[in-house]
Amino acid sequence: MYPSQGCENNMAKIIDITPRAQDVSPVLVLLTSHRVDCLLLCIKCLELFTDLGRFKKIYVVANDVSDEHAVIIKSFQRRHANVIDVHATPRGQIPAMLSMENFIFERHKQDVIVRLSEDVFVTPFWLEHLLATYKLHKGHKDILAISALTPISRIGRQLMDRALRAHYPAERKRLPLIPVEQNAVYHRFVWEKVLGDNLVGKYLELNRPKQVYLSHVSVDCLLFDGDLIERIVPMALRLPDGATRADEFYINSALRNGGMRAAVVTDALVHHFSHGRPEAYLRKHVSMDDIWWYMTFIESHVQATPAAAFRPRPGKGSRLELLRLMKERELRVLQ
């Protein structure tokens, strides 16, 4: 037999060792401090739109919280066996919260981490979109993080601009040209259009890329693994000049200094309530009850009708029907 004969049986097989998205068990790190109503809605959306059993662990890192706040966290912990309640003092990012992030990230640098802020409200299939994008880019060493799209953030302001140009050109021109972190008018404008004019649906109808690659990112809803952790931990226990969030500063510094990028997933659109400075103004003009109602009744058939998926269900039914829907989506926060 010639050497070439039988080679088909002896050829090496190419095996894809990239983890499948459904096989990844990430670690969720939820950071909370003082916004009790936001934490309630954050937890509600997590429980409505996420299989929390997929997470290897869920750390709720609480920064000098009130007794009421602590009770809500304990209730969440009783409902889910993988929740770990961590309290950090004194109040403030430095040193308490950043020290705890350093500890958790170092402990789980072999895992996939999802960092989530207390005032971020997730939507249907958010985690599936992030994990699918993570798998897609696992072999790309220049992609260090995967981010959801949050309209109220610097990244969100940049990526939502096409929808604003197309649907609100006059109002867009009147928006102040100042950073989003200080831009109370932009906060109010976005929430009013999300709640009352289907801004998200209009954005999703655009012809847009599934991922946008940037050298800077918001950390409100961010997925990463040991490749990024090795570059940032331990984060120095100080708030650099001009920075509002220390962990975001160090992550973006790692991206820029290493010539790396983050992938922003445009289908994984989640809602960030507010940055610190505009919060008081925003609460005077946008009702948290309206946001609660909107998030509670977001349609859950995103894959079937993506353009309409983020609209609240229309209130055309009888009062009894609306009460039935509310009961279906009720979250018992203090049981």
User: Is 190 buried (19+), middle (13-18) or exposed (0-12) by CB count in 10 A?
Assistant: buried
Report yes or no: 271 and 298 within 8 Å, Cβ to Cβ. Answer: no
Task: Say what the pLDDT of residue 235 is.
Answer: 97
Is the pLDDT score of 164 beyond 50? yes
pLDDT at residue 157, rounded to an integer: 97
Q: What is the mean pLDDT of residues 192-196?
A: 96
Report helix, strand or coil for 55: coil
Q: Is the pLDDT of residue 6 over 70?
A: no
Least confident of 93-102, 242-251, 299-308: 299-308
β-pairing, 57-63 with 27-32?
A: parallel
pLDDT above 70: residue 5:
no
Would you give the distance in Å from CA 293 to the centre of its chain?
Answer: 19
Please state the rounded mean pLDDT for residues 104-111. 98
Provide the residue range defining the domain that includes 82. 21-235+250-312
CA distance 225 to 262: 12
- Count of domains for the chain: 1
Q: How distant, in Å, are the alpha carbons of 101, 115, 254, 257, 273 from that of 251?
A: 12, 12, 5, 10, 22
pLDDT category, 264, cuts 50, 70, 90? very high
Alpha carbon distance 313, 298 (integer Å): 6
CA distance 57 to 66: 24
Look at residue 335 in the predicted model and tell me its pLDDT.
42
pLDDT at residue 9 in the model: 52
- Say what the pLDDT of residue 307 is: 42
**Whether residue 33 has pLDDT greater than 80:** yes
Q: Tokens 């040193």 identify what position?
A: 95
Residues 162 and 151 sit within 8 Å (Cβ to Cβ) = no
Q: Give mean pLDDT, residues 212-223.
A: 97
Is residue 68 included in any domain, yes or no?
Answer: yes
* CB hemisphere CA count around 167 (13 angstroms): 19
CATH number at residue 168: 3.90.550.10
Residue at 280 is within a domain: yes
pLDDT value at position 186?
98
- Amino acid at the residue 199: L
**Average pLDDT of the residues of the chain:** 88
Please give the pLDDT value at position 81.
97
- How many residues make up the chain in this entry? 335
| Domain-embedded: residue 135 | yes
- Write down the residue that tokens 């706040």 correspond to: 69
pLDDT for the residue 303: 38
Residue 298 has pLDDT above 90, yes or no: no
pLDDT at 63 over 70: yes
Q: Is the pLDDT assigned to residue 328 strictly greater than 80?
A: no
pLDDT bin (cut points 50, 70, 90) of residue 233 is: very high
Is 103 within the bounds of a domain? yes
308 or 50, higher pLDDT: 50
In a domain, 287, yes or no: yes
Q: Are 205 and 130 in contact (CB under 8 A)?
A: no
User: For residue 288, is it within any domain?
Assistant: yes
> Does 58 map to a domain?
yes
Quote the pLDDT of residue 297: 86
pLDDT score, position 322:
55
Least confident of 12-21, 155-164, 235-244: 12-21
Residue 61 lies in a domain: yes
What is the pTM assigned to this prediction? 0.86
